Amino acid sequence: MVAKALRAGAAAKRGRPARARQAEATIGFVSLGCPKALVDSERILTQLRAEGYATSASYEGADLVIVNTCGFIDAAKAESLDAIGEALERNGKVIVTGCLGAQAGIVQTAHPNVLAVTGPHDLAAVMEAVHAQLPRPHDPFVDLVPPQGIKLTPRHIAYLKISEGCNHRCTFCIIPSMRGDLVSRPIGEVLAEAETLLRAGTRELLVIAQDTSAYGVDVKYRTGFWRGRPIKTRMLELCRALGELAQSAGAWVRLHYVYPYPSVDAVVPLMSGGGILPYLDVPFQHASPRILRRMKRPANAENVLARIQAWRALCPEITLRSTFIVGFPGETEREFEDLLEFLEAAQLDRVGCFAYSPVDGAAANAYPDAVPDAVKEARRERLMRTQAGISAARLARKRGRVERVLVDAPGVGRSAADAPEIDGVVHFEGGRLGDFVDVRIERSDEHDLYGRRV
């Protein structure tokens, strides 16, 4: 019943050892069980070869070993557990699949160090576990696209999307109805993509999601794997790993769409050590508690002010960016002024503001007391005028300082405080796209800085 069809790289026994392309992406394979399991093994091996992985005829020559197990009778289970133990002992990195994988508890109790356990007929889960450990090899003679894929951004910057969808139900927004609830990408896959992008020359990774700080909530912060290490699917662990990767590649990481949750407090100290920029893009949207409730936003203004103070205490150089909506249905003059007072108290560095616009399908459209368009626009202009004074004063404090700048084009670049497209820039002479230069700041206005390279 238990046919030990292949053991340790048997794929290679049936033909030439397949190590033609990249020694760093080589997989050993042990296939146990019945012909149905054998067919599963063939599908996995076919997919591995199609993606450019080589197979190894020895445990020692492999970067990791996949064991396709049998779980039919006790003897089969015992043999499968033995095979996993042997692979762990001789290689150390093991992904388990097949019938015994459907009883993950048995495998993990006997062998807690396996990298991942997937059930039978689950090619996608096996490949996901492989990708998390060993990024897909790239063959420039066969692949039509570069390893990082086709990018619409300049080569030195790249967006890294860590999740899709959103669990909030803000009444002005229809994104959850279009994109569904939060689905976090596996952390190993996200980090493998980050490595590929950095290897391809990315100097600034922009982390995005609908709600970056909710990363992993949907999978209960499940433990994933990256470079053979267990790692939680959670913002803190993700930022720590991204920061390390960026630092060793001489790049930086910028966080967008972060909510003012208490959990973010633990991320802010990472911003003082390089890698993760001291920059947070936090869409507060309003400051009046009643309007925030009507918007169904999670935080209230008092907590937010305390949180901002705490972040600045943890990382004094942090740049805070936010967006606001004015003229939300029912917003009174007093509530709008509360928002202006909040801006004065918060002293945010960068602010965007939209006049409320009723999107088809948004719950807020059902609220009475729509604010007339002319009032909305007047409030937007007032808010932007207030913020212009705050931004100008905050930028003026940078005069005389030397800022590290990433060059976007000769003469124009961005410091840690400037996200592409939405914030200001630094003007100076010369520089090559994608290089970092140091600029002494001599002048500033309400958006930009001007200086000289040092």
Q: For binding to ligand SF4 (CB under 6 A), which residues are involved?
A: 166, 168-170, 173, 175-176, 210-211
Tell me how far, at minimum, the Cβ of 179 lies from ligand SF4, in Å.
8
232 is written with which tokens?
A: 């939680």
Closest to ligand SF4 by CB, 118 or 210: 210
Tell me the closest approach of the beta carbon of residue 201 to ligand SF4, in angstroms.
Answer: 31
Q: Which residues pair with residue 350 across a beta bridge?
A: 321
- CA angle in degrees (0–180, nearest 5) for 411-412-415: 130
Least separation in angstroms between CB 228 and ligand SF4: 35
Of 153 and 177, which CB lies nearer to ligand SF4 in the complex structure?
A: 177
- Of 233, 223, 237, nearest to 108 (Cα)? 223
Closest CA to 125 of 149, 91, 95, 104: 95
Q: Buried b vs exposed e over 305-341: b needs ≥16 C-beta within 10 Å?
A: eebbeebeebbeebbbbbbbbbbbbebeeebbebbbe
* Nearest distance from C-beta of residue 292 to ligand SF4, angstroms: 12
Closer to ligand SF4 by Cβ: residue 214 or 339 = 214
> Would you say 136 or 168 has its CB closer to ligand SF4?
168
- CB-wise, 54 or 207, nearer to ligand SF4? 207
DSSP H/E element including 434: none
DSSP assignments along 270-320, one per residue: GGGSSSEEEEEE---B---HHHHHHHT-S--HHHHHHHHHHHHHH-TT-EE
CB of 298 to ligand SF4, least distance (A): 8
Compute the least distance from the CB of residue 254 to ligand SF4, in Å: 18
Residue 354 in tokens:
């939209």
* Rg of the chain (C-alpha set): 26
Nearer to ligand SF4, 19 or 168 (CB): 168
> Measured from the CB of residue 148, what is the shortest distance to ligand SF4 in angstroms?
26
Minimum distance, C-beta of residue 162 to ligand SF4, in the bound complex (Å):
14
- CA dihedral over 62, 65, 68, 72, signed as positive or negative: positive
Question: In the complex with ligand SF4, which residue's Cβ is closer, 156 or 297?
Answer: 297
The DSSP line for 4-58 is --B-SSHHHHTSS---SS-TTSEEEEEE-SSHHHHHHHHHHHHHHHHTT-EE-SS
Q: Pairing mode, if any, of strands 157-161 and 204-208?
A: parallel
- By C-beta, is 62 or 182 nearer to ligand SF4? 182
